[in-house]
């Protein structure tokens, strides 16, 4: 095409174009007066950054003397692991590792999954190709920094050239960190941990190939560059997040998620629900500051963008449709397959846009559990499953965030089957909150608020303090104050609202 392009007057035309754009797109985005459908949003953000690009000072971008920390983001980057999806596809993994010329594979799992069909398939597949591998099956659920350090120490002497994670999010996240620190032997553990708790160093080396085989339909960790763990000393959830941490390939085999008890299906699915809702409603990428001075500093959690929107909204619709079916009927293979697909799609969505309040608030909720033991979880000690702790605040959270973008919240309510034709934009939050509360109630065995988890007003201050360190996700929360005391008040009100819904 280009060879027949008109070259003359290029510069002049460009300037005209940009000047026109500047005046035809007012900063207050007109699209927010349309139903908040992601096409409109695409228009929204594209117009907005077209307009921003029109400002000469910013057109010069990195070349400009202007302080980038003063500039808002002007670009987004979409990165995802390759995803292979199919029933029985686990059996291909030996050939994949051979195709990658892997000689020594570290297989990461936990003691329960190690006994399941998924690991049997994996062992057979690797043996069939004559691949040398060692299995680490001591991964902890909700891993702590020290359990991850043990895993890292375990792997060092084996020095693998590829990793294979088989399990839920805890397993996949642990494998990511084993791979990371195995490739940075000299690094301090806190170097890559998210700021403010860690140094948030970017990953600038090529890690070894990592293949992830999820056995739950929840975290979407098989597609993301995020690894979450508890920093015991700080009693806070944190992690490492960089797109170079993402697996090479996610192998999604619906036959591997059949063994989840329905209580686990429900809480994993609620994690998917919040991944999609939070990434769909996160601040737009081009409202985020600062503009990175180097693309490697552009966070994976960059705010909602036109591509993450497509994934988030599709995952939301699929979850609303298939989660209740997969929880109620353990033999509904279609619903289970769809939930695994939804978990992965939501993973691509939030992996590139981020999550915000539900996840930020969930960490202290799970961590400061007053003694609640969730029904259907056959464990001795108290447990608030991650998905439960995330979903319990959802009605209050989206009632709060709706004002930032009523049309997106109306679109979300519509995904729950609400007829929004005559709903006022001011009611978007209320309508979505009701739809969420009803969805949770209909799903069954879900707490109708923090009270049912054993929390009272006396716990709220500590819950707020446990949320504050989640800066990385809180900065994506629309409408949350930048000033610390104001932010504390807002979080306090959100936790109070969440006592009962």
| Helix pair angle (406-415, 428-443), 10° resolution | 30
| Helix pair angle (484-497, 357-367), 10° resolution | 70
Nearer to a second copy, 86 or 196 (CB): 86
3 state SS for 157-171: CCCCCEEEEEECHHH
Q: Rounded to the nearest whole angstrom, what is the least distance from the CB of residue 340 to a second copy in the complex? A: 9
User: Alpha-carbon distance 400 to 396, whole Å?
Assistant: 6
Q: Rounded to the nearest whole angstrom, what is the least distance from the CB of residue 157 to a second copy in the complex? A: 26
Q: Rounded to the nearest whole angstrom, what is the least distance from the CB of residue 158 to a second copy in the complex? A: 23
Report residue 482: phi and psi, to 5°: -80, -30
Q: Rounded to the nearest whole angstrom, what is the least distance from the CB of residue 193 to a second copy in the complex? A: 21
Nearer to a second copy, 98 or 451 (CB): 98
Report residue 139: phi and psi, to 5°: -60, 140
Q: Rounded to the nearest whole angstrom, what is the least distance from the CB of residue 451 to a second copy in the complex? A: 24
Q: Is residue 210 within 8 Å of residue 177, measured between CB atoms?
A: no
Nearer to a second copy, 193 or 307 (CB): 307
Nearer to a second copy, 321 or 492 (CB): 321
Q: Is residue 30 within 8 Å of residue 301, measured between CB atoms?
A: no
Nearer to a second copy, 217 or 499 (CB): 217
Nearer to a second copy, 5 or 482 (CB): 5
Nearer to a second copy, 261 or 456 (CB): 261
CA distances to 55, 150, 197, 364 from 469, in Å: 35, 25, 7, 10
Nearer to a second copy, 100 or 187 (CB): 100
Q: DSSP readout, 329-380?
A: -TT-HHHHHHHHHHHHHHHHHHHHH---HHHHHHHHHHHT--S-B-TT---S
- Burial class from Cβ neighbours inside 10 Å (0-12, 13-18, 19+) for residue 16 reads exposed
For residue 11 the two structure tokens come to 């510069």
Name the nearest CA neighbour of 292 among 221, 242, 245. Answer: 242
User: Alpha-carbon distance 315 to 441, whole Å?
Assistant: 20
Q: Which residue has the tokens 């080396």?
A: 205
Nearer to a second copy, 92 or 497 (CB): 92
The conformation of residue 248, written as its DSSP 8-state character, comes to S
Q: Is residue 275 within 8 Å of residue 316, measured between CB atoms?
A: no
User: Alpha-carbon distance 1 to 396, whole Å?
Assistant: 53
Length of the chain: 501
Q: Is residue 190 within 8 Å of residue 315, measured between CB atoms?
A: no
Q: Rounded to the nearest whole angstrom, what is the least distance from the CB of residue 405 to a second copy in the complex? A: 19
Q: Rounded to the nearest whole angstrom, what is the least distance from the CB of residue 396 to a second copy in the complex? A: 25
Nearer to a second copy, 88 or 196 (CB): 88
Q: Rounded to the nearest whole angstrom, what is the least distance from the CB of residue 86 to a second copy in the complex? A: 3
Nearer to a second copy, 40 or 501 (CB): 40
Nearer to a second copy, 204 or 489 (CB): 204
Q: Is residue 211 within 8 Å of residue 251, measured between CB atoms?
A: yes
Q: Rounded to the nearest whole angstrom, what is the least distance from the CB of residue 313 to a second copy in the complex? A: 9
What's the angle, vertex CA 93, arms to CA 91 and CA 97, rounded to 5?
Answer: 150
Nearer to a second copy, 158 or 377 (CB): 377
What is the DSSP pairing of strand 210-214 with strand 132-136? unpaired
Q: Rounded to the nearest whole angstrom, what is the least distance from the CB of residue 336 to a second copy in the complex? A: 8
- State the maximum Cα–Cα separation within the chain, in Å, rounded to a whole number: 76
User: Alpha-carbon distance 411 to 394, whole Å?
Assistant: 16
Q: Rounded to the nearest whole angstrom, what is the least distance from the CB of residue 36 to a second copy in the complex? A: 16
Q: Rounded to the nearest whole angstrom, what is the least distance from the CB of residue 337 to a second copy in the complex? A: 4
Q: Rounded to the nearest whole angstrom, what is the least distance from the CB of residue 284 to a second copy in the complex? A: 12
- 241, 193, 156, 165 alpha-carbon torsion, rounded to 10°: -30
């Amino acid at each position: 095409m280009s060879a027949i392009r008109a070259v003359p007057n290029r510069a002049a035309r460009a300037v005209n174009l940009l000047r026109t754009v500047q005046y035809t797109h007012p900063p207050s985005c007109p699209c927010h007066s349309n139903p908040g459908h992601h096409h409109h949003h695409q228009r929204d953000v594209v117009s907005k950054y077209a307009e921003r690009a029109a400002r000469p000072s910013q057109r010069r971008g990195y070349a400009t003397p202007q302080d980038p920390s003063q500039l808002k983001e002007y670009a987004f980057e979409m990165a995802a692991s390759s995803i292979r999806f199919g029933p029985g596809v686990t059996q291909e993994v030996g050939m994949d590792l051979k195709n990658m010329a892997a000689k020594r594979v570290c297989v990461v799992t936990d003691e329960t999954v190690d006994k399941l069909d998924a690991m049997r398939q994996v062992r057979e597949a690797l043996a069939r190709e004559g691949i040398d591998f060692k299995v680490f099956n001591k991964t902890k659920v909700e891993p702590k920094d020290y359990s991850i350090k043990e895993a890292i120490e375990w792997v060092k002497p084996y020095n693998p050239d590829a990793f294979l994670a088989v399990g839920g999010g805890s397993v996949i996240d642990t494998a990511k960190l084993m791979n990371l620190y195995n490739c940075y032997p000299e690094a301090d553990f806190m170097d890559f941990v998210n700021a403010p708790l860690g140094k948030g160093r970017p990953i600038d080396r090529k890690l070894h190939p990592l293949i992830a085989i999820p056995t739950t339909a929840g975290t979407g960790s098989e597609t993301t560059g995020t690894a979450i763990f508890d920093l015991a000393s700080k009693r806070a959830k944190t992690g490492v997040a960089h797109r170079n941490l993402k697996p090479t390939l996610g192998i999604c085999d619906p036959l591997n998620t059949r063994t989840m008890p329905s209580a686990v299906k429900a809480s994993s699915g609620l994690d998917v629900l919040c991944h999609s809702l939070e990434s769909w409603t996160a601040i737009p990428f081009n409202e985020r500051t600062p503009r990175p001075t180097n693309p490697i500093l552009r966070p994976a959690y960059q705010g909602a963008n036109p591509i993450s929107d497509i994934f988030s909204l599709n995952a939301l619709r699929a979850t609303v449709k298939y989660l209740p079916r997969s929880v109620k009927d353990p033999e509904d293979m279609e619903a289970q397959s769809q939930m695994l697909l939804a978990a992965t799609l939501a993973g691509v969505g939030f992996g590139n846009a981020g999550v915000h309040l539900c996840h930020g608030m969930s960490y202290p909720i799970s961590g400061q559990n007053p003694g609640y033991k969730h029904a259907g979880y056959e464990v001795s000690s108290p447990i608030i499953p991650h998905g439960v702790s995330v979903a319990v605040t959802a009605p209050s959270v989206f009632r709060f965030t709706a004002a930032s973008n009523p049309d997106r919240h109306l679109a979300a309510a519509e995904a729950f089957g609400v007829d929004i034709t005559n709903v006022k934009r001011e009611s978007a939050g209320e309508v979505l909150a009701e739809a969420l509360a009803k969805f949770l109630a209909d799903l069954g065995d879900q707490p109708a608020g923090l009270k049912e988890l054993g929390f009272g007003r006396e716990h709220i201050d500590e819950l707020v303090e446990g949320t504050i360190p989640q800066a990385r996700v809180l900065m994506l929360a629309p409408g949350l104050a930048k000033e610390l005391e104001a932010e504390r008040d807002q979080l306090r009100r959100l936790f109070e609202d969440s006592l009962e819904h």
